[in-house]
Each structure stands twice: as C-alpha cells, then as structure tokens.
Amino acid sequence: MTDDKPSALPEAGRRERKRVQQLDHLADTAWALFEAEGFEAVTMERIAERADVSKVTLYRYFPVKEALLRHVFHRELRAAWPTLQPELARAAPGRARLARFLELQAAWCESRRSFLAPYVRFRLGDPHLPEEARERSGMDRLFGELIAQGQAAGDFRTDLPLDMLVMHLQFAHLATMLRCLADPRLSLAGEFVTMLDLVCGGLEQGR
C-alpha cells in the first residue's frame, strides 16, 4: 500500500498542471476572440471551434463565456500583484499606498472597460452558479495586505477586526465600479479618489 504513495503525488501534480494548461488555453483563445470580434458576438461554439476542443470539453471547464472572462481577469490580477510591489512601496503605507493601488487598478479597468459589465454581472449573479463561477478574485486578500500595512504604520485604526475593514472597503469599491459602469462619462480613477475619501474620512464635516 505504501508503495503507491510516492508515485501518486507526482501524477496528481501532472494532472493539475495539465488542467491549468487547458484552462489557460481555453481562456486565451476566448480572450483573443473577444478582443477581435466583441464579447457579445462570440459564442461558446465559436470558442470551442477555435480552441480545437469539443463543446462538451469547453462547458466542462467553463459553463458560460463570462467564466472565461473571470479566468483571464483573475489570472492577470494574480500575476500583476508581485510586479506592483516596487511601485506601491514608493508610497507611504496606509492611505497613500492604497490610493496608488486604486489608481493603478483604475487604469487597468479602463483598458478592459468594455468587458467589465458582463464580468461584474456574472460575479454578482445567481448564487447557485457552479463553484468555479463564484471563485473569488483575491481582491479581499490584496486589500487586507494594504490595510494591514497601514495599521502597522499607525495610519489605519486597529480597534476593529481587519476582516471588517476589508469588507467595508470591498463594498465601497464594488459600489464605485457599478456607478461607473452605469455612467460611462464618469472617470473610474476620480470616483475611486472620492470613494477612498469617504471610506477613510467618513461622512462628518471636518472640524
């Protein structure tokens, strides 16, 4: 029985690598089509054909095409976070660093603006969607790191749990995104500045 264990782990690792490669292949194929032809015009059948897989295979990994957007966006966020560290380190921990992160995120969102509405609708959609459709972006972890850095520097309050502060920031962040998606005249960068002022300063008049 113990003889099977050493070989089982490498095999499981190979299966996972192949699964991730397939996910990336399908998502990259879909993204190229979305950019070339527009999100609404591209069908799941077209993606399967271009990716050279059966529709059954595509639907097994991604139940709807919005899930392909999710995979691309969340992968980009994971990849970008380590590369952002030197830039974020130039800003003081706390509000200034959080503001810089939101500024950089706004620029990224603007470059993806035509795809944000279906992505956000999907993330806020039916709670009975498959588990992969409800996969978290990791933004809560990033906000948690930035807030914790601010707390350590004495810039943010420490009398409330970190997860509570993250939750309130996430809700304000989402509300700002929805407001900008509803009114394309708005600047997401500018709205993030206002949102951060409200989150950090509250509703009271300055005294």
Judge whether residue 78 has pLDDT over 50: yes
Q: In the prediction, which pLDDT does 26 show?
A: 98
pLDDT tens per residue, range 103-129:
999 999 999 999 999 999 998 885 555
For residue 103, the SS3 value is helix
Q: In the prediction, which pLDDT does 77 show?
A: 93
* Residue ranges per structural domain of the chain: 1-62, 65-207
Superfamily of domain 65-207 in the CATH hierarchy: Tetracycline Repressor, domain 2 (1.10.357.10)
pLDDT tens per residue, range 149-176:
999 999 999 999 999 999 999 999 999 9
Alpha carbons 117 and 34: distance in angstroms, whole number? 14
Using the CB atoms, write b or e for 55-85: b if 16+ within 10 Å: eeebeebbebbbbbbbbbbbeebeeeeeeee
Give the max Cα distance, the chain. 73
Judge whether residue 136 has pLDDT over 50: yes
Judge whether residue 23 has pLDDT over 80: yes
CATH 1.10.10.60 fits 1-62, yes or no: yes
Identify whether the C-beta of residue 135 lies closer than 8 Å to the C-beta of residue 74: yes
Alpha carbons 88 and 20: distance in angstroms, whole number? 29
For residue 11, the SS3 value is helix
Q: In the prediction, which pLDDT does 1 show?
A: 44
The model's pTM: 0.85
At residue 120's C-alpha, the angle toward residues 98 and 33, to 5°, is 110
Q: In the prediction, which pLDDT does 205 show?
A: 65
Q: In the prediction, which pLDDT does 101 show?
A: 98
For residues 181-199, give the mean pLDDT: 95
- Find the DSSP H helices in the chain: 4-37, 44-51, 55-61, 65-89, 95-111, 113-123, 139-152, 162-182, 188-201
Under DSSP, the state recorded for 147 is H
